[in-house]
Amino acid sequence: MESAKPAFEKYVFVCTNERAEGERVSCGKSFCGKELHAKLKEAIKLAGMADKIRVSKSGCLDVCEEGANILFYPENIWLNHVELSDVSAVLEKLGIKA
């Protein structure tokens, strides 16, 4: 094993986990996690920041009821109850003017 420097300045982990009907709620099924991931990825690309900020799908972060959930690394900032209409606000928190 080797330690390495991260390839990107920041990572945006968007939970897209899906659970079946009748199970615990999930960001990808009960909330907008999957669409949010796609919209944020596109917005970062349009902002010309795709070489600095990586938007990645995440598995369950175990705060499912607070979904949709986003985690910024390395800031360790958590965003809960994120809606599709919050994309501009998420970009602002990343220091990007939308």
In angstroms, the Cα distances linking 30 to 2, 20, 46 are: 38, 10, 28
- In the list 9, 62, 75, 83, the residue contacting ligand FES (rule: CB under 6 A) is 62
- In the list 61, 70, 71, 94, the residue contacting ligand FES (rule: CB under 6 A) is 61
In which order are the strands placed within the sheet that holds 10-15? Answer: 53-58, 10-15, 70-73, 77-79
For the segment 19-48, give every residue that binds ligand FES (CB under 6 A): 26-27
Residue carrying the six token digits 């369950």: 60
Residue 94 within binding range of ligand FES, rule CB under 6 A: no
- For residue 57, the minimal CB distance to ligand FES (Å) is 11
Q: How many residues bind ligand FES (CB under 6 A)?
A: 11
Could you list the beta-strand ranges (E) of the chain. 10-15, 53-58, 70-73, 77-79
- Is the CB of 18 or the CB of 50 nearer to ligand FES? 18
DSSP bridge partners of 73: 11
Residues of the shown chain interacting with ligand FES in the complex, contacts defined by CB under 6 A: 15, 17, 26-27, 60-64, 67, 69
